[in-house]
Amino acid sequence: MELTREQLMIQKMAREFARKDLAPQAAERDQKHEYPAESLKKMGELGLLGMLVPEEYGGEDMDTVSYALAMSEVAYACASTAVIMSVHNSICCGSLLRFGSEEQKQQYLVPMARGEFIASFALSEPEAGSDPASMSTTAEKDGDFYVLNGTKRWITGGATSELFIVLAKTDPDADHKGISAFLITRDLQGFSTGRLEDKMGQCASDTTDLLFSDCRVPADRMLGKEGEGFIVAMSGLDDGRIGIAALSLGLGQAALDEAVNYSKQRVQFGRPIADNQGLRWMVADMATDVEAARLLVLNAAAKKDKKEKCSKEASMAKLHASEMANRVTGQALQIHGGYGYTREFPVERFYRDARVLTIYEGTSQIQKIVIANEVLGDKKKRPKK
């Protein structure tokens, strides 16, 4: 796939920023669990937080291929920053663009696209992850308000974001057709956040519960129409999965590059370990794995830019790239030997950061369901409860 001059310029801009600003601080931020607030502010100024938003709403109106390229470069330097960028860009900005009223777009989307504040998406619950229709958070109509009660779990940016798109049941008896979406801000009474999760990786990105206890939300904060929440959630899946696939690609490339550099410098038995056939085959497998992911990511992004249906391609990209990142970071750690198991070398962080990639934005098993349904053309009906 041949990139355009503009796409290459965007990739170069993102690469220069990420290598200069994000990479030098990534290890320290990981160890201190430090949110990259200043870096995100700079990313907003560069247009990296509103890449897919039209210019009339403060965005850059870029294509999905350019977005995937930029995402990969950010992830190459810091996966924690990349996941914040993905949720904010792909899901939150995209949902407001597709379903927001003009007033909501002016109030929320414009400053979001400029990076003035970060938004998060709240779908998962303690007992509802891959099956969102089983959520138990409710929103009961009370005059000009909806009263929300329930708990949202695993929310990226739960402690730091200023806006949340929250899914809740407005009709508990209507399965997925009874879900609605709401725009929640921190000033609403009855809304609070839970403790910070002590995560294995991506530690500079906070994850918390969102807690709702008789939280009164103005009715004009509904995103889309009542009962459209499931559609809101599903509409951003292709963008979100392409984003996480691109994140996985960047992380896998970083691990490969570190392994190659180390193997040329590390000497055993009087020669660099890169001279050993067994290790060379490992590098060949890693490079092929990364390149296959790159082509799948760019293919899905290009298909979306053509306004063609790309659910299968997005799931294929997310499935392969996330699994690739886990394989390649593991192999990179192996090449480093005992040093790879210490925090002295970045592959230790890469290995931890990669693990969640096969879980969020739809597990690998969910991706396989999507792909199989598309290939076989026989989407299975939802099981009755």
Distances (CA, A) of 198 to 80, 201, 203, 249, 358: 14, 9, 8, 25, 19
Instruction: For 92-251, list the strands marked E by DSSP.
Output: 119-122, 138-142, 145-156, 163-169, 179-185, 191-193, 207-218, 222-223
pLDDT computed for residue 378 by the predictor: 78
Weakest-pLDDT range from 61-75, 201-215, 228-242: 228-242
Fold of 120-233: Butyryl-CoA Dehydrogenase, subunit A; domain 2 (2.40.110)
Q: How do the domains of the chain map onto residue ranges?
A: 5-117, 120-233, 236-376
Q: Give the catalytic positions in this structure.
A: 361
Question: Do residues 18 and 43 make contact, with C-beta atoms less than 8 angstroms apart?
Answer: no
CB under 8 A, 24+ apart: contacts of 375-379: 375/312
How crowded is residue 66: how many other Cβ atoms within 10 Å of its Cβ? 23
Question: Do residues 169 and 228 make contact, with C-beta atoms less than 8 angstroms apart?
Answer: no
Amino acid at 221: R
Note the CATH architecture for domain 236-376: Up-down Bundle (1.20)
3-state secondary structure of 19: helix
Which pLDDT tens digit goes with each residue over 338-348? Answer: 999 999 999 99
Residue 385 or residue 6, greater confidence: 6
Tell me whether domains 5-117 and 236-376 share a fold.
no
d(C-alpha 130, C-alpha 135), whole Å: 10
d(C-alpha 40, C-alpha 311), whole Å: 29
Looking at the predicted structure, is the pLDDT value of residue 382 above 90? no
pTM: 0.95
Q: Which residues contact 297 (CB under 8 A, 6 or more apart)?
A: 68, 72, 242, 245, 246, 249, 317, 321
Which pLDDT tens digit goes with each residue over 130-188? Answer: 888 889 999 999 999 999 999 999 999 999 999 999 999 999 999 999 999 999 999 99
CATH value of 5-117 in 3.90.1300.10, 3.30.465.10, 1.10.3720.10, 1.10.540.10: 1.10.540.10
Q: Tokens representing 65?
A: 């291929």
